[in-house]
Amino acid sequence: MCDRMCDVQTILKSFILDRFLSSVPYGEGHINDTYAVTFENSNGDRYRMLLQRINHAIFTDPSGLMNNIDGVTKFLKQKIIAADGDVNRETLTVVPTKTGELFYRHSDGTYWRMYVFIEDAITYQSIRNQQDFYNCGVSFGNFQLMLSNFDTDALIETIADFHNTVKRFNALKAAINEDKSGRAKDIRPEINFALEREKDAGVIIEMLETGKIPYRVTHNDTKLNNIMIDNTTGTGICVIDLDTVMPGAACYDFGDSIRFGASTAAEDETDLEKVSMSLKLFEVFTKGYLSVANEFLTPAEVESLAIGAKIMTFECGIRFLTDYLNGDKYFKIHREHHNLDRCRTQFKLVADMEQKMNQMQEIVKKYSK
Ligand code: ADP
Ligand code: GN1
Ligand code: MG
Question: What is the distance in A from the centroid of ligand 2 to the CA of 31?
Answer: 7
Q: Which amino acid is at 353?
A: M
Is the CB of 241 within 6 Å of ligand 2? yes
Over residues 329-360, the pLDDT tens digits come to 999 999 999 999 999 999 999 999 999 999 99
Q: Whose CA is nearest to atom 13 of ligand 2?
A: 221
Tell whether 280 and 152 lie within a shared domain.
Answer: yes
How far, rounded to the nearest angstrom, does the alpha carbon of residue 324 sit from its chain's CA centroid? 20
Q: Which domain holds residue 164?
A: 130-367
Task: Name which of 334, 349, 339 is nearest 319 in CA terms.
Answer: 339
Task: Name which of 245, 204, 307 is nearest 68 in CA terms.
Answer: 245
pTM for the whole thing? 0.95
Q: Whose CA is nearest to atom 12 of ligand 2?
A: 30
Over residues 189-209, the pLDDT tens digits come to 999 999 999 999 999 999 999
Compute the distance between CA of residue 238 and CA of residue 242 in angstroms, rounded to an integer: 11
Over residues 87-130, the pLDDT tens digits come to 999 999 999 999 999 999 999 999 999 999 999 999 999 888 99
Is the CB of 155 within 6 Å of ligand 2? no
Tell whether 112 and 148 lie within a shared domain.
Answer: no
Reported confidence tier of residue 51, pLDDT bands at 50, 70, 90: very high
Over residues 258-291, the pLDDT tens digits come to 999 999 999 999 999 999 999 999 999 999 999 9
Helix (H) or strand (E) holding 143: helix 130-146
Q: Whose CA is nearest to atom 1 of ligand 2?
A: 30
Q: What is the mean pLDDT of the chain?
A: 96
Looking at residue 2, its pLDDT comes to 43
Is the CB of 322 within 6 Å of ligand 2? no
CATH code, domain carrying 115: 3.30.200.20
Question: Above pLDDT 90, what percent of the chain?
Answer: 94
Tell whether 301 and 155 lie within a shared domain.
Answer: yes
Looking at residue 6, its pLDDT comes to 57
Residue 135 domain-assigned (yes or no): yes
Q: Whose CA is nearest to atom 7 of ligand 2?
A: 221
Tell whether 54 and 174 lie within a shared domain.
Answer: no
pLDDT at 1 over 90: no
Tell whether 109 and 159 lie within a shared domain.
Answer: no
Pocket test for ligand 1, best of 240, 244, 332 (most atoms within 8 A of CB): 240
Compute the distance between CA of residue 133 and CA of residue 1 in angstroms, rounded to an integer: 34
Domain count, the chain: 2
Is the CB of 123 within 6 Å of ligand 1? yes
Is the CB of 215 within 6 Å of ligand 1? no
Q: Report phi then psi at 28, rounded to 5.
A: -130, 35
Question: Above pLDDT 70, what percent of the chain?
Answer: 98
Query: Quick check: helix, strand or coil at residue 20?
Result: strand
Tell whether 112 and 174 lie within a shared domain.
Answer: no
